Amino acid sequence: MVKSIGLNKTNTCVFISGTGSNLENLIKFSLTKKSPININLIFCNKVNAKGLMYANKYNIKKKIYFFKKKAEDEKKILKDLKRNKIKLICLAGFMKILSKNFIKKFNGKIINIHPSLLPKYKGLNTHERALKNKEKFSGCTVHYVNSKLDSGKIILQKKVKINKNDTVEKLRKRILKQEYKIFPKAIKKVLFNL
């Protein structure tokens, strides 16, 4: 795989726990000329996460910390981030909550993608809850990470209409498509201070 050498690009680390489809989308974005980021590092808290295959596929360094001893692991991660001059962290399906201390100590920006129109439906099972409540719309949000779950300042959102015959799976797929669009846009917004 040929890597683009973006000299002035922001060094970025993506944190994942699962499938990693947003990770692959961000990697593809990072390889485009107009992207302001390089993805230099992937963090994962699960050894068998499917998304880890993208580290091999795109030849990106990966690190696995289980977060069993959170404070210790966070210290190690902070060192890795420093060593790799990481200035942006993108949480993409990362299922652990970062501590206040970690957020304060990281010398850069941390953003997350969430599959709902925040502040509605923080946490898990967003599509199930939106359907159960007979919402007309759901969507996705990219926001800054603070110490409260899914509560940081919103950077970008995209509304998605809920259809009458929607299932969790159908809705999840339609929202994911929008996630792939707004995550790169939000990154540009954050880095270009738009």
Catalytic center residues: 114
Q: Does 184 bind ligand GRF (CB under 6 A)?
A: no
Separation in Å, CA 170 to CA 70, 106, 130, 161, 162 = 35, 37, 13, 12, 10
Binder among 13, 77, 92, 190 for ligand GRF (CB under 6 A)? 92
Q: How many helices (H) and strands (E) does the chain have?
A: 6, 7
Q: Interface with ligand GRF includes 20 (CB under 6 A)?
A: yes
Q: Which stretch binds ligand GRF (CB under 6 A): 35-43, 62-70, 108-116, 160-168?
A: 108-116
The contact mask relative to ligand GRF for 121-150 (x = CB under 6 A, - = no) is -------------------x----------
Among 30, 171, 179, 186, binds ligand GRF (CB under 6 A): 179
Distances (CA, A) of 96 to 20, 93, 123, 177: 15, 9, 11, 23
The two structure tokens encoding residue 105: 């100590």
Closest approach of Cβ 159 to ligand GRF, in Å? 15
Cα–Cα distance, 33 to 180 (Å, whole number): 18
Q: How far is the CB of 162 from ligand GRF (least distance, A)?
A: 16
- Coil, helix or strand at residue 54: helix
| Contact set with ligand GRF (CB under 6 A) | 18-22, 51, 92-93, 113-115, 140, 176, 179
